[in-house]
Amino acid sequence: MATWLTVMTGKSGRIFPGHRLSAAGGDATPQLGQTRLATRPRRPVVVARAGISGASRTRLTASCETAGMRITVLAGGVGAARFLRGLKAAAPDAEITVIGNTGDDISLFGLHVSPDLDTVLYTLGGGISEEQGWGRAEETFTVLHELAAYGAGPGWFALGDRDFATHIARTSMLRAGAPLSAVTRALSERWRPGVTLLPMTDDQVETRVTIDAGGDAGSRTVHFQEWWVRMRAAVPAVAITFSGAQAAAPAPGVLEAIAAADCVLLPPSNPVVSVGTILAVPGIEAALRAKTVVGVSPIIAGAPVRGMADACLAAIGVEATAAAVAAHYGAGLLDGWLVDDQDKPAVDDPRLAGIAVRALPLYMTDLAASAQIARSALSLAGELACRAS
Amino acid sequence: MATWLTVMTGKSGRIFPGHRLSAAGGDATPQLGQTRLATRPRRPVVVARAGISGASRTRLTASCETAGMRITVLAGGVGAARFLRGLKAAAPDAEITVIGNTGDDISLFGLHVSPDLDTVLYTLGGGISEEQGWGRAEETFTVLHELAAYGAGPGWFALGDRDFATHIARTSMLRAGAPLSAVTRALSERWRPGVTLLPMTDDQVETRVTIDAGGDAGSRTVHFQEWWVRMRAAVPAVAITFSGAQAAAPAPGVLEAIAAADCVLLPPSNPVVSVGTILAVPGIEAALRAKTVVGVSPIIAGAPVRGMADACLAAIGVEATAAAVAAHYGAGLLDGWLVDDQDKPAVDDPRLAGIAVRALPLYMTDLAASAQIARSALSLAGELACRAS
C-alpha cells in the first residue's frame, strides 16, 4: 500500500477503519514533500463541534489502507469529477459517496438535464469529453441541428446526440414517477462510476442569478445556465439565489452518507453555485458541521482554475482568493483547507483561525496530480479526525 | 393545363371551381386509357345521400384547372404519403387538407411519436427515407444505441437521431400544453408539405390489437405498434379496437375541411387501422357521407401492396380483396373506387352497387404513376360530384 497517509494512534471508534500501524520509519515514511506537512509551522486547530481544541498529535506515521473507509464528497461538475477520479485512484477500496449539485439542472427541449450529475457519471464512467471536461466523447450533434431546423430553442446550450440519450432516459423515468435519486441510480448502472452518486435532493432547486439589466432597465433574474452559458457570466450578478432550496429535503441517503462518513471532502468546485447550493438544502450543512470536512481551494492565485467562480464570488461579496473562500465557508464547517503553493500565505491568514491550511500544488493537470491532491486531503482529514477524537 | 379531367356541365355550386370547359374533342380529350373510363360499361351510380340516382351524365370533356380546388384526404402512413405526392403533382394549385391517423401514435422513451403524421411530413417535405418509405433519409442511430446502453426499451422500434428530434420537439410542445393539431402545424412550418396536415383528433386514441396468446393463455391486448412492428402482425389478431375513439372529438379544422371539400379521397391506406381509425372518430364518417368520396384500393390481386393490411382485414372478417374493402366501406360512404387492372372484375361486382369502380394500374412505382392514380381519382370524383349535383 501507499505510504502517504499520516495516521494517528489513540483515535476511538471507526474513523479510518482501514488504517494499519506499521513499524516507524523506513519505507513507511509518508511522502510529505508535496503536502508540506513536515515543513510548515503547526498551529493549534480548534475543532469547535467536539469541544476539544488542540488535541495532542501523536507523530506516528503509518502505512494506510483505505479499504472500507467511508468518504463523502460534495460535488459540482468538472472540478469535482476530476478530483473524484484522483480520489478513486488514491483510495481505490474506499466507499465513496458523492452528493451532487442539482441547482444547475435545467429543462431543455422538455428534457431534464442534470449537468453536474452527468459530468460526474461521464467522467468516472469513462464517457467524458476530455477536451471539454463535460459532455460525451466522440459526440455528434444531429438531434440539436434538427431541433434548430424546427426553430426549437434555446440555441445557446450544446447537447450532443449521446448526451441527449441520457436526458431522454432520465426524463422518461422522472415522468414515470421515479425520483431523481432513483433515476440517478439507474443511470449509474450503466456508467458504474465506482462511487455512489446521490443528487443533493429529489426536490426542485433552481439556481437563479439576478443581473443588472443596465440603465433604467433595473434588474432581472435568469436561470443560472442562462447567465453561465449564454452570457458567459460576463454580465455582473447582483444576487444568486437557490429557488426552492428552503422547501427541499436532502435526497434519500444524503444525510446518512454524511453521518456515516469518516471524512467529508469538498473538491475544488464552485463555492457559490456548486457547494453553496448543496449547503442550501436544509439539514446538509448541519450534518457536515458534525464531521471532519476538508476542502480543496478552487481558487489559485486569485483566479478560478476553471470556470468563472470569481463572478459568482463577486455576487456574494467574497474576494476571489483561496483564503477568502475558506473564510466564507468558515471554521464551523471547514476543518482543513488545501491551497496551492502560490497561496501559501493563507496558511497563516488570521481569518482562517480554526481551519488547518496546507499548501501544495493544486493544478489537476493529470490523474497523478489529482490523486496526489486527494491523498493530501485524506491525509489532512485523518490528522484532523484524530485531533478531534 | 393537363387535359386529364372529365368535367361535367350542369353542376351547381362550387364543386370543382377550377374547372374550365373547353372546346370538345381535340387536345382536350382526356387520357382515359389508363382509367378505362371510356372502355368499361357504365352502370348507374346511386348517390344515396343526395337522393339523386343515376343522374344523366353529360359526356363533355374539358381541360381542367385545379387551382383553388379543395381536396381533403384521409391519410395513414406510407401509402397515403406517396399518393399525396402524386396528388400534389396532379393538382399543384389545389388546396389539399390531409386528415392524419393518430391511432398509431405511441409513447416511446417518454416521447410522443406520431408515425403517420411524420411519414406525411417527411415525404412531402423531402426528408423521407425513400428506401424505407418511413423515417428520415441519411439517418443515424446514436441516441437509440445510447438508450440501449441504459437498458431503456423497447428495443423493437427503430428511431433515428433525426427522427428523435421530431419527437423531442413534439413532446416538448405537448408538455407545454399545445394540442397535437397546433404542434403539427408548428412542425409543418419546417417541412412545408404543401398541404394542410391535421391530426384526426387532439384527443388520445390508441389502436389496440387483441391477439390469441395460444393454448390456455387466452387472449391479450397490445398496442398496435407492438403487434405491427414487434410481432410483424404474424400473430393473428382476433380484434382491433380504437381505445378512446368514442370520446374523441375531431381536431379543429377537420369537419370544416370535409365540409368545404370539393371531394374527399381515400388513398391506398390500411382500411382498418388507418382509414378505419379516422372514421372511428365521432362526426367524421357522417361528414364524409355528405361528400363525394373516392378511394384507391390498397389491395391488389388479393394482397396488400405494402404492409400487412390483410392481417388487419382478417381481424375484422373482411376478405383481402379490392372488392371486399370497398364493400366494407359501403356505398353510403364511398362513391368511387379505383382498383388495379388485375382486379377488373370488381367493376361489376354486385356487392359494390352504388359505388363507381374503375380499373387502372395502381402500383405507385414512381411519382408519375402516383400522379396518374391521383388524376384518375380526381377525374372520377369530378364525374360523381356532377352526377350528384
Where along chain A do its domains lie? 3-101+244-388, 109-118+127-191
pLDDT for the residue A154: 86
Report the pLDDT value the prediction gives residue A8, as an integer from 0 to 100. 27
Is A185 at the interface with chain B, CB within 8 A?
Answer: no
Equal CATH topology for B3-101+244-388 and B109-118+127-191: no
Q: Is A234 on the interface with B (CB under 8 A)?
A: no
pLDDT value at B284 more than 50:
yes
Contact residues, chain B, for A142 at CB < 8 Å = 140, 142, 161-162, 165
Q: Which of residues 55-114 of A touch B (CB under 8 A)?
A: 109-111
State chain B's mean pLDDT as an integer: 85
Picking from B110, B151, B162, the nearest residue to A168 by CB comes out as: B110
Query: What pLDDT is attached to residue B65?
Result: 61
Read off the pTM: 0.83
How far off is chain A from B386, nearest CA to CA, in Å?
Answer: 43
| Minimum CA–CA partner of A141 in chain B | B161
The pLDDT value recorded for residue A99 is 98
CB A290 within 8 A of CB A318: no
Residue B107 has phi, psi (to 5 degrees) of -90, 115
Contacts 24+ apart (CB under 8 A), B38-47: B40/B344, B40/B347, B40/B358, B40/B359, B41/B348, B43/B348, B45/B335, B45/B354, B45/B355, B45/B356, B45/B384, B45/B387, B46/B331, B46/B353, B46/B354, B47/B335, B47/B354, B47/B384, B47/B387, B47/B388
Closest among A132, A123, A183, A125 to A158, alpha carbons compared: A132
Q: Alpha-carbon distance B92 to B81, whole Å?
A: 15
The confidence score (pLDDT) of residue A369 equals 98
**Ordered per-residue pLDDT tens for chain A, 389 residues:** 232 222 222 222 222 333 333 333 333 333 333 332 333 333 333 333 333 333 323 322 333 567 789 999 999 999 999 999 999 999 999 999 999 999 999 999 999 999 999 999 999 999 999 999 999 999 999 999 999 999 998 889 999 999 999 999 999 999 999 999 999 999 999 999 999 999 999 999 999 999 987 777 789 999 999 999 999 999 999 999 999 999 999 999 999 999 999 999 999 999 999 999 999 999 999 999 999 999 999 999 999 988 899 999 999 999 999 999 999 999 999 999 999 999 999 999 999 999 999 999 999 999 999 999 999 999 999 999 887 76
Contact A300/A230 with Cβ under 8 angstroms? no
| Residue B9 vs residue A323, higher pLDDT | A323
Strand partners, A264: A72, A293
Closest partner residue to A142 among B140, B146, B189, by Cβ? B140
Grid coordinates 405498434 are at which residue? B225
In angstroms, the separation between the Cα of residue B259 and the nearest Cα of chain A is: 31
Q: Do A164 and B164 touch (CB under 8 A)?
A: yes
DSSP, collapsed to helix, strand or coil, labels residue A251 as: coil
- Kindly state the cell numbers that stand for A84: 473524484
Using alpha carbons only, what angle is made at residue A35 by residues A29 and A39, rounded to the nearest 5 degrees? 80
Cell of A372: 496526489
Q: Which residues of B159-198 are buried (b: 16+ CB within 10 A; e: fewer)?
A: bbbbbbbbbbbbbbbbeeebbbbbbbbbbbebbebbbbbb
For residue B252, give the 3-state DSSP assignment: coil
- Quote the pLDDT of residue A217: 76
Instruction: Please give the CATH superfamily to which domain B109-118+127-191 belongs.
Output: CofD-like domain (1.10.8.240)
CA A229, A230, A234: angle at the middle one, nearest 5? 85
Interface predicted TM-score of the whole assembly (ipTM), two decimals: 0.82
Residue of A nearest to B190 (CA): A150
Q: Which of B141, B142, B189 to mutate to test the interface with A (most CBs of A within 10 A)?
A: B142
The residue among B178 and B1 whose pLDDT is bigger is B178
pLDDT at B41 (0 to 100): 34
Q: Does A154 contact B at CB distance below 8 Å? A: no
Q: Are A40 and A380 in contact (CB under 8 A)?
A: no
Subunit contact B161:A146, Cβ cutoff 8 A: yes
**Distance of residue B150 Cα from the nearest chain A Cα, in angstroms:** 6
Write down the pLDDT at residue B347: 96
Q: Which three cell numbers stand for residue A353?
A: 483561525
Q: Which of B3, B86, B116 is nearest to B362 (CA)?
A: B86
Residue pair B321/B302 in contact by the 8 Å Cβ criterion? yes
B12 to chain A, closest Cα gap in Å: 44
What are the backbone dihedrals phi and psi of residue B73, each rounded to the nearest 5 degrees, phi first?
A: -125, 135
**Listed residue (B301, B355, B340) closest to B35, CA to CA:** B340
Asked if residue A78 lies in contact with residue A268, where contact means CB atoms within 8 angstroms, the answer is: no
Cell of B263: 371531394
Is the bond preceding residue B271 a cis peptide, omega within 30 degrees? Answer: no
State the Cα–Cα distance between residues B165 and A320, nearest whole angstrom: 42
- Interchain proximity B150–A176, CB inside 8 Å: no
The predicted structure's pLDDT at residue B22 = 32
pLDDT at site A24: 33
Q: Has residue B375 got a pLDDT over 80?
A: yes
Euclidean distance between CA atoms B389 and B386, whole angstroms: 5
What confidence tens digit (pLDDT) does each residue in B73-117 have?
999 999 999 999 999 999 999 999 999 999 999 999 999 999 999
SS (H, E, C) B20-61: CCCCCCHHHCCCCCCCCCCCCCCCCCEEHHHCEECCCCCCCC
| Chain B touched by A166 (CB under 8 Å) | yes
User: For the domain B3-101+244-388, what is the CATH code?
Assistant: 3.40.50.10680
**Whether residue B219 has pLDDT greater than 70:** yes
